Structure 1
Amino acid sequence: ELWSHLVCVQSSVSLSSYIIAEENVTQPTEDVMVVEGQPTTLTCLFYTTNQSPYLFWYKQLANGKPMFMLRKDKFGTGETATEFKDRFEACLNVTAKSASLTIQRLQLYDSAVYYCALRPTVTTGYSVPLQKL
């Protein structure tokens, strides 16, 4: 599992990073101030030798399981879970090895842990695990 997380509690965001072997994902900013009703962007920097990486975003509420939000690909449109199609948008820049998640019209209920990952890490509600690590 290769990911970094942001914990959003009311109006502040804190994070920590996990780096494993030849691939890693990090968050470049430790604290991000967010304002309800405004857009905010979370950013990941990643390293991988894969020339066509997939970048995944997950949301985890307190005491809950991580929920798949969306996947961005170098080619193609990727995939976005239905409940995140309205206010959430991700960008993947393979050249800069960066990815961003923008949340429009930020709401208090958006407070959660947001994971950025290079590999699929959770199951959907109706299938077997996407990948065994």
Structure 2
Amino acid sequence: ELTAFFILAVAHECRAQKDNVLQPTGDVTVTEGEAGTLDCQYNSSSTNNYLYWYKQDGDHSPKFILNRIKLDDGNTADEFKERFSATLNSALKLVPLKIQKLQLSDSAVYYCAVRPTVTGNTTTLYKNTS
């Protein structure tokens, strides 16, 4: 007997100046043991961006899953490395999150976020405390 469960991908738009992400509205229903994909489209004035995925269970704080800078480059938290992946498509401005072998414990709210990379001034700033 297969168990169906839900991954909630809320319509969530994060804005920072002209940069934002948009996730489709509604729940994504996937059968336990199957693979599931959560979509995330982003807009940014920068050509280099960091894209992030977070998981939030109940009342807990969002937990970092992974980030991508380009294609598969980036970091994935150890606990998510085995089953969670994402490839950044900068041409289509998409960074879908793929989850393999879905488990009931994967049911949560998933957030996508974008941050442009800072370019130009690489000088470290110090606060004058005198």
TM bracket (short chain): 0.7 to 0.9
| Residue 31 (structure 2) pairs with residue 35 (structure 1) | yes
Q: CA deviation at 1:113?
A: 1.1
8 Å Cα contact 2:72/2:86 also seen in 1? no
CA distance in 1, matches of 2:14, 2:51: 15
Q: Which residue of the partner structure matches residue 78 of structure 1?
A: 74
CA distance in 2, matches of 1:114, 1:104: 15
8 Å Cα contact 2:19/2:43 also seen in 1? yes
CA distance in 2, matches of 1:83, 1:118: 22
Calculate the TM-score normalised by the size of structure 1: 0.75
Q: CA deviation at 1:16?
A: 1.8
CA distance in 2, matches of 1:81, 1:92: 17
Residues 81 and 19 of structure 1, relative CA distance in 2, 3 Å threshold:
closer
Q: CA deviation at 1:27?
A: 1.5
Residues 19 and 68 of structure 1, relative CA distance in 2, 3 Å threshold:
closer
1:64-103 mapped onto 2 (5 Å cutoff) = 64-74=60-70, 77-103=73-99
5+ unaligned residues in a row in structure 1: which ranges?
A: 1-8, 121-133
| Residue 5 (structure 2) pairs with residue 10 (structure 1) | yes
CA deviation vs aligned residue, 1:71-109 (integer Å, no higher than 9, x gap): 111267200110010000011101101111000000000
For these two proteins, the number of residue pairs brought into alignment is: 112
CA distance in 2, matches of 1:44, 1:82: 22
Which of structures 1 and 2 has the bigger CA Rg?
2
Give identity over the alignment, percent. 46
Task: Please identify, of 91-100 and 68-77, the stretch whose mean Cα deviation from structure 2 is larger.
Answer: 68-77
CA distance in 2, matches of 1:94, 1:69: 20
Task: Please identify, of 34-43 and 10-19, the stretch whose mean Cα deviation from structure 2 is larger.
Answer: 10-19
Does the residue aligned with 1:83 lie in a helix, a strand or coil?
helix
Residues 25 and 63 of structure 1, relative CA distance in 2, 3 Å threshold:
same
The alignment's C-alpha RMSD in Å is 2.2
5+ unaligned residues in a row in structure 2: which ranges?
A: 117-130
